[in-house]
């Protein structure tokens, strides 16, 4: 019996806002316990939520970038459950009417392109953090830190369109790139800014109904998601082949052991009693707001790779590296706009100096000047590298340093023409001698030109000009 795998992914992304979604506390990571809290996010009696506009804009921009339909009216709902990290004992989320529906993103797998559907995108608030006093069974208490409470999240739910762990990984990476490109999420998986849960099931090929699925949690890197999916698929297939059933349950990925483990939690808690939050009115998004936000959507990674290849004639591989970070690609294009010579060289330079580019310590002019001077033969490759390093250490302009350091080579033909003319005019005897067959005199002329240029002329270029003029 041939089995096929069905994978759907749910991503929780922390939105890049300064303040929380429903109160004015800071979202900064790493504050000491309960430092970033107030009566609202700690659920004190009588306090009320007010929606952060920026959080809505981040979500709408994500919806536009993933071809979703932005809902003109969406509703915040309360998800009710008791837990010490959830101060109001409900999470404000969206349920029946989320902010966006029906989108997709295209990912590349096995040299082809596959379209993965996005079911919905909704906004919600995060819960706090619970630390257990000691990790042993004897621990008597837990400590609640509510700094994370009400940090804005966006949940992006995919269609069950993925069939392999590789497709799952490719989808996640692409989605991650999109969010970071948009600037709506910092994408930091270690700090929990980008989290993923997976729904996995297997079914016989040709069967329409889905098999029983498990939900996988606790995967904190792309590689871990792929590994967890591989493990879980193998586990489910083995069970089915052994004639056993897959249980519907939540399983945690144990990265050290490389296995998924059942959470064995009572499912009773899953009656969340969602209902529209009476403290918040419907979120109304009008067309003009959507259109205004649409103008802020940058080119997405896949489009950018294709365009960079097309527009600059650079290899796809190089375009891929440049487009991996929006800032790097922008830097490349800015440099190429200043000096349009051979973009391949500019691309190589951008990749070579990537760290400095992303750190913001290099300007596009520096790379453009470096490439231009090299291509014109004004400086050597070695001098170029040395000069860029000098720019980084001194912060002074490339060409100022070049001239001060005397690292220029004159290979400009017209400049050399003048020099050569002067030398030839001053040495009529030698010219006559050369033309009479004394080929050895060429090195005399080269020496004279080099002397006249104080060593800055490009010797190869000087020879060529001399040969032409004397020949």
Partner 1 sequence: MEITREEVLHVARLARLSVPEAEAERLREQLSAILDYAKQLDRLDTRDVVPTSHAIETGTPFRDDVVEPFGDREAILANAPDRLNNCFRVPRIIED
Partner 2 sequence: MANVPVHEWTLLEAARRVREKEISSRELTGALLARIEALDPKVHAYITVLPEAAAAQAEACDEEQARGALRGPFHGVPIGLKDIFCTRGVRTTCGSRILRDFLPPYNACVTEKVLAAGAVVPGKHNMDEFAMGSSTETSFFGPTRNPWDLSRIPGGSSGGTAAAVSAAMCFAGVGTDTGGSIRQPASLCGVVGVKPTYGRVSRYGMIAFASSLDQGGPIARTVADAAALLGVIAGYDRRDSTCVDIPVPDYLVAVERPVKGLRVGLPKEYYEGEGISPGVRAAVEKALKALTDQGAIVVEVSLPHTSFALSTYYLVAPAEASSNLARYDGVRYGHRAEGASGLIEMMSRTRAEGFGDEVKRRIMIGTYALSAGYYDAFYGKAQKVRTLIRDDFTKAFESADVLLTPTAPTPAFRLGEKTGDPLTMYLSDIYTIPCNLAGIPGISVPCGFSAEGLPIGAQLLSKSFREETLFTAAGAIERALPLRRVAPLEG
CB count within 10 Å of CB 396 equals 11
Q: Burial-class residue 43 by CB neighbours within 10 Å (0-12, 13-18, 19+).
A: middle
DSSP string, 165-189: HHHHHHHHHHHHHHHHHHTS----T
Q: Is 146 in the site for partner 1 (CB under 8 A)?
A: yes
**Residues at the contact surface with partner 2, assessed by CB under 8 A:** 39, 42-51, 78, 80, 82, 84, 87-90, 142, 144, 271, 273-275, 278-281
Q: Is 48 in the site for partner 1 (CB under 8 A)?
A: no
Give the residues across from 120 on adjacent strands. Answer: 101, 157
- Could you tell me the smallest distance in angstroms from the CB atom of residue 358 to partner 1? 25
Q: Is 143 in the site for partner 1 (CB under 8 A)?
A: yes
Q: Distance (Å, rounded) from C-alpha 273 to C-alpha 447? A: 91
CB nearer partner 2, residue 80 or residue 220: 80
Report 53-82 residues binding partner 1 (CB under 8 A): 53-56, 73, 75-76, 82
Helix (H, G, I), strand (E, B) or coil at 62: helix
Q: Is 36 in the site for partner 1 (CB under 8 A)?
A: yes
Give the residues across from 214 on adjacent strands. Answer: 200, 249
Residue 428 binding partner per list partner 2, partner 1, none, with a CB distance cut-off of 5 to 8 Å that depends on partner kind: none
**What does DSSP assign to residue 135?**
S
CB nearer partner 1, residue 29 or residue 275: 275
Nearest residue to 236 via CA among 207, 215, 264: 215
Near partner 1 by CB under 8 A: residue from 35, 241, 389, 432: 35
**Phi-psi bin for 34: left (phi > 0), alpha (psi -120 to 50), beta?**
left
CB nearer partner 2, residue 139 or residue 359: 139
CB nearer partner 2, residue 277 or residue 318: 277
β-strands 249-254, 214-219: how paired? parallel
Residue 90 binding partner per list partner 2, partner 1, none, with a CB distance cut-off of 5 to 8 Å that depends on partner kind: partner 2
- Could you tell me the smallest distance in angstroms from the CB atom of residue 179 to partner 1? 17
* Helical residues (DSSP H) of 353-440, grouped into ranges: 354-359, 364-375, 381-394, 398-405, 413-426, 428-435
Tell me the Cα Rg of the chain. Answer: 32
CB neighbours of 438 closer than 8 A, spacing ≥ 6?
none
Q: Is 413 in the site for partner 1 (CB under 8 A)?
A: no
Residue 334 binding partner per list partner 2, partner 1, none, with a CB distance cut-off of 5 to 8 Å that depends on partner kind: none
Residue 47 binding partner per list partner 2, partner 1, none, with a CB distance cut-off of 5 to 8 Å that depends on partner kind: partner 2
Residue 132 binding partner per list partner 2, partner 1, none, with a CB distance cut-off of 5 to 8 Å that depends on partner kind: partner 1
- Could you tell me the smallest distance in angstroms from the CB atom of residue 200 to partner 2? 25
CB nearer partner 2, residue 84 or residue 406: 84
Q: Distance (Å, rounded) from C-alpha 373 to C-alpha 393? A: 20
- Could you tell me the smallest distance in angstroms from the CB atom of residue 317 to partner 1? 39
Nearest residue to 289 via CA among 61, 111, 69: 61
Q: Is the dihedral of CA 405, 410, 411, 413 positive or negative?
A: positive
Binding piece for partner 1, criterion CB under 8 A, among 144-152, 214-222, 231-239, 325-333:
144-152
Report 366-395 residues binding partner 1 (CB under 8 A): none
Q: Is 91 in the site for partner 1 (CB under 8 A)?
A: no
CB nearer partner 2, residue 280 or residue 306: 280
Helix (H, G, I), strand (E, B) or coil at 223: helix
CB nearer partner 2, residue 89 or residue 359: 89
Binding piece for partner 1, criterion CB under 8 A, among 106-114, 240-248, 274-282, 302-310:
274-282
CB nearer partner 1, residue 48 or residue 418: 48
Nearest residue to 167 via CA among 279, 393, 8: 8
Q: What are phi and psi of 317, to 5 degrees?
A: -60, -45
Q: Which residues bind partner 1 (CB under 8 A)?
A: 17-19, 24-26, 32-39, 42, 44, 50-56, 73, 75-76, 82, 84, 130-133, 139-146, 264-266, 268, 271, 273, 275-276, 278, 280-284
């Amino acid at each position: 019996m041939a089995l096929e795998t069905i994978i759907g992914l749910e991503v929780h992304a922390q939105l890049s806002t300064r303040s929380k979604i429903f109160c004015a506390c800071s979202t900064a990571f790493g504050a000491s316990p309960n430092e970033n809290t107030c009566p609202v996010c700690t659920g004190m009696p009588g306090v009320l939520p007010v929606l952060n506009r920026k959080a809505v804009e981040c979500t709408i921009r994500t919806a536009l970038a993933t071809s979703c339909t932005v809902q003109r009216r969406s509703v915040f709902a309360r998800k009710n459950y008791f837990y010490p990290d959830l101060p109001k004992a409900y999470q404000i989320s969206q349920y029946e009417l989320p902010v966006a529906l029906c989108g997709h993103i295209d990912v590349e797998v096995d040299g082809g392109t596959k379209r993965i559907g996005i079911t919905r995108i909704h906004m919600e608030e995060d819960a706090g953090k619970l630390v257990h006093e000691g990790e042993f069974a004897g621990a008597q208490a837990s400590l609640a830190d509510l700094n994370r409470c009400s940090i804005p999240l966006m949940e992006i739910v995919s269609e069950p369109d993925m069939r392999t762990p590789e497709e799952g990984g490719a989808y996640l990476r692409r989605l991650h790139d999109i969010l970071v490109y948009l600037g709506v999420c910092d994408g930091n998986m270690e700090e929990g800014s980008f989290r993923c849960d997976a729904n996995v099931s297997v079914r016989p090929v040709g069967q329409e109904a889905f098999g029983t699925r498990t939900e996988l949690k606790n995967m904190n890197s792309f590689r871990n998601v792929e590994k967890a999916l591989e493990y879980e698929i193998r586990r489910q297939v083995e069970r089915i082949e052994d004639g056993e059933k897959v249980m519907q349950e939540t399983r945690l990925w144990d990265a050290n052991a490389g296995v998924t483990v059942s959470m064995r939690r009572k499912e009773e808690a899953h009656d969340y009693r969602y209902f529209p939050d009476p403290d918040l009115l419907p979120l109304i998004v009008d067309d003009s707001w959507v259109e205004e936000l649409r103008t802020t959507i940058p080119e997405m990674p896949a489009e950018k790779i294709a365009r960079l290849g097309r527009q600059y004639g650079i290899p796809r591989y190089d375009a891929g590296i440049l487009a991996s970070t929006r800032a790097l690609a922008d830097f490349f294009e800015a440099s190429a706009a200043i000096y349009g010579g051979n973009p391949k060289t500019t691309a190589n330079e951008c990749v070579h100096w990537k760290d400095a580019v992303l750190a913001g310590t290099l300007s596009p002019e520096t790379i453009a000047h470096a490439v231009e001077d090299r291509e014109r033969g004004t400086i050597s490759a070695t001098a170029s590298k040395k000069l860029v390093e000098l720019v980084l250490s001194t912060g002074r302009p490339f060409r100022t340093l070049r001239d001060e350091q005397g690292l220029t080579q004159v290979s400009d033909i017209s400049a050399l023409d003048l020099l050569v003319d002067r030398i030839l005019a001053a040495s009529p005897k030698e010219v006559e001698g050369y033309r009479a067959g004394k080929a050895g005199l060429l090195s005399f002329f080269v020496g004279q030109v080099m002397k006249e240029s104080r060593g800055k002329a490009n010797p190869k270029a000087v020879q060529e000009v001399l040969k032409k003029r004397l020949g």
